[in-house]
Amino acid sequence: MRAKRVIGAALASGLALLAASCSSSGDDTPGSQPQAASVTESPAAPPEHPFTGMPVAARRPVLAVKIENTSSGKPQIGVDKADIVYVEQVEGGLTRLMAIFSSRLPKEVGPVRSARISDLHILPMFGKPALAYSGVQTKMIPFVQEASLFDVSDSAAPGAYFRYPGRYAPYNLVGTPSKLLREAGKATKAKDIGFAFSDEPPAGGVPKKSYSVRYPAARFTFGWSEAKKRWLVWQDGEKDMAAGGAQLGAATVVVQYTKTERSQFHDVNGSYTPLVHSTGKGTGIVLRDGQAYKVNWERPSEEDGTTFTTADGERMTFARGPVWVVLASRKPIQP
């Protein structure tokens, strides 16, 4: 009887050891030993585009296009797809646009018009971009040839342009951006030009529903739309509409006050071409998120970008999205 009890105890002990061994051999078995937790790293956020602050997979070449900005050329085609739009004073106190494309390209853009001397002083901050335009004054040709740009004008790349049906010359010349960039295979890709972006507006802004800028023969008004989160554009009291049907607008509007003087160029009527000095230092107004900010700007040289700071010296950040830069003068030169 004693021998049977010893054998039984030994057998029970062996079964217990076997059960313990089995319970530690698999993660699914109750009572298993805790395993080290695996760590999954979150994917890195895509980089921001330097012109808009929006996520972008890759940086693409830069295309600048000169756009007609009078009633004869409206509605404009493709301007609503621009990353940056510059407004510049030209002869007669009127304005012309220079639209900058990189993060996205419209199928068509126009009406394409002639370039001005101020363009050649703005563009070097982009490196060596492609410039689409429809000619310049003969006297200005050597300046274009020496400028930091790839010439994709209608004379240099005629196959990239067509005459838009239903419009009349010279307000019917339209370019195809994909073809224009193919003609400038080594155009510089988008890079830092001094802009900074943030999701939340900085402190120090003053609530503003609209802001107007006057030129001798043109007036722009930018009105805040809370629904669209955009500053919508009015020109000369009329809504500035895109060919696609929507009103033009921007997440951020920069009114950059610059020194503007007469250049050595003038049109056939004897009206001088303004020269906008976009280097140096100055003041301005930045509109974002329904607020206006007084800012200072600085651009040390033409190869440098333009940085903007608030009144207390902090970096002024823009809202993410398209930016309009209105190059204005507190005392614009008269025609």
Per-residue model confidence as pLDDT tens for the chain (335 residues):
444 443 344 434 443 433 444 344 444 434 445 555 555 555 666 789 999 999 998 999 999 999 999 999 999 999 999 999 999 999 999 999 999 999 999 999 999 999 999 999 999 999 999 999 999 988 999 999 999 999 999 999 999 999 999 999 999 999 999 999 999 989 999 999 999 999 999 999 999 999 999 999 999 999 999 999 999 999 999 999 999 999 999 999 999 999 998 888 877 777 889 999 999 999 999 999 999 999 999 999 999 999 999 989 999 999 999 999 999 987 666 66
Q: Domain 63-328 in CATH: superfamily?
A: YerB-like (3.50.90.10)
Per-position DSSP letters for 104-127, written without gaps between them: ---S-BB-B----HHHHHHGGGGS
Write down the pLDDT at residue 8: 43
Distance (Å, whole) CA 100 – CA 65: 7
Q: Rounded to an integer, what distance in angstroms lies between the CA atom of residue 304 and that of residue 99?
A: 19
The Cα–Cα gap between 311 and 86 comes to 24
- Domain locations along the chain: 63-328
In this prediction, residue 267 carries a pLDDT of: 75
Residue type at 266? H
pLDDT at 204: 93
* 213 Rama class: left (phi>0) / alpha (psi -120 to 50) / beta: beta
Determine the pLDDT at residue 270.
72
Per residue in 249-275, pLDDT (tens digit) is 999 999 999 999 888 887 777 788 999
Which tokens go with 85?
A: 């739009």
Res 334: pLDDT: 64
The pLDDT of residue 48: 94
Q: What pLDDT score was predicted for residue 333?
A: 62
Q: Tokens at residue 40, please?
A: 């999954």
Q: Where are the beta strands (DSSP E) in 93-207?
A: 95-101, 130-132, 150-151, 161-163, 173-175, 206-207
d(CA 20, CA 245): 75
Query: What integer pLDDT is reported at residue 162 of this predicted model?
Result: 98
CB proximity list for 260: less than 8 A, separation 6 or greater = 89, 274, 275, 276, 277, 327, 329, 332, 333
Output the pLDDT for position 20: 42
Ordered DSSP codes for 180-236: HHHTTTTPPBP---S--B-SSPPTT-EE-SEEEEEETTEEEEEEEETTTTEEEEEET
